[in-house]
Amino acid sequence: MAHQPFLLALLPLVLPLSATAPTAEGETPVYGAEANPTGDPIGGGEGYRRIVTQGDYSVRTPEELLAALNAAKPGQVVCVAAERIDLAGHTNIRIPPGVTLAGNRGKGGSPGPLLFNDRMPSRHGLFQVEADARVTALRLKGSDVDVAETDYEAKERTYLKCITAAGANVEVDNCEISNFHHSGVDVQSKNVRIHHNLIHDVHAYPVVVGSRAGLPTLIEANIIRWVWTALNGTGAPGTGYEARYNLIICEKPPKSWGEAFKSHAFGMHLFRPAQPLRIASDQILIHHNTLEMGRSFGVRIRGVPREIMDIHSNWFQDEDPSRAIAPHPGNVWVHNNVYGPRKTLLPVGPGTTPQILFRRPHPPSETPEKVSGVLPLDIEVNVLKGVALKSVRIEVGGKVVYTGPTQKPMRPDDARVEGASTVVYEGPRAPTPGEAVVDTRALPDGCHELTVTAVDNRDVAARHSVMLAVEN
């Protein structure tokens, strides 16, 4: 990882090579979406190269489209030849595994065929896309009004979706997606690629990463015009996303939302808010994007990612770096971004915290890990280059805890009990594997929260917890 000078001691899973700047050694770094190395225009359209021109089926009516999709086999292509197809009366149209549904958006300046449904019932979607299928070079339009005309007192929320990526390896590219309330693309499987699209007038989430999604999820080289949140996720363990080379444009909110309304471009929700743990997915990589934020924040995360949220090489067009990311609990690195029209560079930005990785016990999950006897701790703490680690503190609920470099029990009168927690370890670094232990036999059976707090030399703290189900 020598080509990534701002990071220390990260595993490849935490920061894959795809997240690094696309510049050779000695070259001047490029920030924001203009770094786009894909060879295709951001947002797709004219100049896009992967346009499908021939297929196994050519359709011009809704009946022909549905019949072709019903008959198509993996590897086959259904081409939309009509300029417009009205899909009224049809929702949740299934695109079978391995099938490509294609138009010609961008070919010879064509806007692409328009597939629309202006009478969709609430809480429905237009397409459900199965594994290894592709949706490309189409215009897809729902029945919700443009964002500027939105008034939920006059017309209730519809929760309409355009595309649900239900299977693995789905690709959505070179499409224009508009006029849906809930989402443009709802990711519900792994290895989904959403790239070179124009997404606008989607009220809530142009792209959302659902609880059934799985890494990797790539959002690349899109133009997203947003008002609520451009890209968000449920925060479920095992999920996350990489957003790169996107142009993210904040639109003026509708009058019905009030002039004071503001939100955030990129986000991640808190998984299971009623639970004590504050899990917000596994891995979030945000790099080489250009963000026109208006009055809103660039990024907001409501919990702690189990691995990292890494934000670098972006151009935040707001001059105030503190608006790039809203306050958060930890495991976030903000570095090497530029701000404002003068592109002021900050090597370490506001919002950066230490990174805490659980090896043993296992990372936090919906179900607490069952433990018994003596539990050796293996916890990794990392910081950005240019930031130093000041202290690490590990504590667990209960009355008596055992720990020590020789794995001998502390005397009960040596254990520091603070409120409902006992300090297991406190020092200027993370303990080496096995240096700190918890003797769970000293804890009553049941659930206990083990918490790690890491503080850097700026007195910025990260806090990360895991639940243990003690059964002795």
Averaged pLDDT, 364-372: 93
In 3D, which of 167, 79, 186, 57 has the Cα closest to residue 126?
186
Strand-by-strand arrangement of the 183-187 sheet: 93-95, 125-129, 161-165, 183-187, 205-209, 231-233, 264-268, 297-301
Q: Are 233 and 242 in contact (CB under 8 A)?
A: no
Residue-wise DSSP of 141-183: E-SSPPGGG--TTTS-----EEEEE-STT-EEES-EEEEESSE
- Does 114 have pLDDT greater than 50? yes
Residues composing the chain: 472
Residue-wise DSSP of 267-296: EEPPSSTTSSS-B--SEEEEES-EEE-TTS
Q: What CATH number should be reported for the domain whose range is 355-470? A: 2.60.40.10
**Domain(s) of CATH 2.160.20: residues in the chain:** 17-348
Q: Are 101 and 78 in contact (CB under 8 A)?
A: yes
Note the pLDDT of residue 225.
95
> Which pTM does this prediction carry?
0.89
Q: Name the residue type at position 242.
A: E
Note the pLDDT of residue 445.
92
Higher pLDDT, 295 or 436: 436
- Does 3 have pLDDT greater than 80? no
Percent over 90 (pLDDT), the chain: 75
**Domain(s) of CATH 2.60.40.10: residues in the chain:** 355-470
Averaged pLDDT, 399-412: 32
Note the pLDDT of residue 413.
37
DSSP letter assigned to residue 259? T
pLDDT in tens, 194-247: 999 999 999 999 999 999 999 999 999 999 999 889 999 999 999 999 999 999
CA distance 146 to 149: 6
pLDDT in tens, 16-26: 333 344 455 66
Class in CATH terms, 17-348: mainly beta
Count of H helices and E strands in the chain?
1, 39
Task: Give the per-residue SS3 of 377-446.
Answer: CEEEEECCCCCCEEEEEEEEECCCCCCCCCCCCCCCCCCEEECCEEEEEEECCCCCCCCCEEEHHHCCCE
In 3D, which of 453, 440, 370 has the Cα closest to residue 398?
440
Averaged pLDDT, 438-442: 90
Note the pLDDT of residue 182.
97
- Does 457 have pLDDT greater than 90? yes
Helix or strand holding residue 376 (H, E):
strand 374-376
Note the pLDDT of residue 259.
65
Q: Is the dihedral of CA 417, 418, 421, 427 positive or negative?
A: negative
Q: Are 81 and 108 in contact (CB under 8 A)?
A: no
- Does 128 have pLDDT greater than 70? yes
CA distance 71 to 337: 49
Averaged pLDDT, 310-321: 96
The mean predicted confidence, pLDDT, of the chain is 88
Percent over 70 (pLDDT), the chain: 89
Note the pLDDT of residue 273.
74
Among the residue ranges 43-52, 162-171, 255-264, the one predicted with the least confidence is 255-264
Match 């010609």 to its residue by tokens.
104
Note the pLDDT of residue 23.
57
Note the pLDDT of residue 294.
82
pLDDT in tens, 26-73: 678 999 999 999 999 999 999 999 999 999 999 999 999 999 999 999
CA distance 452 to 472: 24
Higher pLDDT, 407 or 289: 289
Higher pLDDT, 94 or 24: 94
Q: Name the residue type at position 331.
A: N
